[in-house]
Amino acid sequence: MDVNSLTKISLVWELHCEGIPKLHIANKLDIGRATVYRWLDGIEEYGGLNLFLDAYQAAKKGERAKRKINPLVKLWVWELREKHNGCCGQKIQYHLKKEKGIYLGTKTIYKILSIKYKLRSKWKKNQKRGSVPKANAPREVVQMDTIDFGELFAFTAVDIFSKEADVLIRPSLEAQDGQAFLHTSMQRRFNGFSDLIQTDGGPEFKREFKKDTHLFCNRHRYSRPYKKNEQSFIESFNRSLRKECLGWTKYKQKDTFKLTDQIENYLVYYHEVRPHISLNMQTPLEFKQLSHF
């Protein structure tokens, strides 16, 4: 039992009996004003200081009642799971906040899901995915990823050999957004085809995205979870995009056109002006031209 709390309760009562205002008591003892009111109300309710101290001490010894989850919130979580094709807890958290204005921790969301669904990891611990791809020429390997900017998301891609990159702002992290990025990016930046496209296992790179990958590559590879080194090139580009262009700000959907303009200007700078240490201080376009690819 925390003796200090019992002492403070006694002091609160003594000071109150001396006629000292509750706010001054709170400041003097460095406790919240609401706590002072709660303790004094408790003392009056129990009919005296000693009886309240006994009740307070007994209550602290017992187990706290478990918090109950609102049944309506449970229903919303299950509905979002069904509505968005069995999406993960993080996605449900996003949609719950966006559609219902409610924030719920992912741990609680998975607890709710486990009531109705049998949950298991989609990733097998020792699942073989082949060696980490390397490139000896442009368009051999393109890595893709996403960056969360609040109500907007940046879909990013980089050719790991030439360091050419592309970015597209989308309003959500749905597979349809990934599909739109795949078509846009591969056609305007990567000449329509790459031997291999590598992404992480996010839902934005499943379903519709995965369905169309054969149009733009010979093979689509998912990087292993928690192995950041397998996506090191795109992670490096993402840091540069944040540091040199968009920062760490959270944006609204109304900022889409402004961000698109910023990104277009940055990509011109990135490809034509910004030197890369890994390219012997050449820009991506200089490197590609001088390498005769």
Q: What is the pLDDT of residues 88-138, one digit of tens each?
A: 888 888 888 888 888 888 889 988 998 888 776 555 555 555 567 788 999
Domain that holds residue 28: 3-61
My answer on whether 54 and 76 are in the same domain is no
Residue-by-residue DSSP string for 193-236 = -EEEEEE-S-GGGSTHHHHHGGGTEEEEEEPPTT-GGGGHHHHH
My answer on whether 165 and 262 are in the same domain is yes
My answer on whether 95 and 146 are in the same domain is no
pLDDT over 80 at 251, yes or no: yes
User: Is 129 domain-assigned?
Assistant: no
What pLDDT, on a 0 to 100 scale, did the predictor assign at position 65? Answer: 60
| The total number of structural domains that make up the chain | 3
User: Is 134 domain-assigned?
Assistant: no
My answer on whether 230 and 274 are in the same domain is yes
| Token pair in block for residue 147 | 């960056």
What pLDDT, on a 0 to 100 scale, did the predictor assign at position 117? Answer: 84
Of 83, 80, 82, the C-alpha closest to 93 is 80
User: Is 216 domain-assigned?
Assistant: yes
My answer on whether 283 and 193 are in the same domain is yes
Strand partners, 165: 158
The percentage of the chain sitting over the pLDDT mark of 70, rounded to a whole number, equals 91
Any idea which of 8-22, 64-78, 137-151, 241-255 has the lowest mean pLDDT?
64-78
User: Is 245 domain-assigned?
Assistant: yes
What pLDDT, on a 0 to 100 scale, did the predictor assign at position 54? Answer: 84
Measured CA angle at 20 (ends 14, 22), to 5 deg: 95
Judge contact between 276 and 163, C-beta under 8 A.
yes
Which has more pLDDT, 70 or 59?
A: 70
User: Is 121 domain-assigned?
Assistant: no
Using pLDDT thresholds of 50, 70 and 90, give the confidence band for residue 1. Answer: very low
My answer on whether 47 and 28 are in the same domain is yes
User: Is 181 domain-assigned?
Assistant: yes
My answer on whether 159 and 192 are in the same domain is yes
My answer on whether 41 and 149 are in the same domain is no
User: Is 126 domain-assigned?
Assistant: no
My answer on whether 55 and 75 are in the same domain is no
CA distance 293 to 274: 20
The H or E element spanning position 94 is: helix 89-100
Q: Cβ of 273: how many Cβ atoms within 10 Å?
A: 9
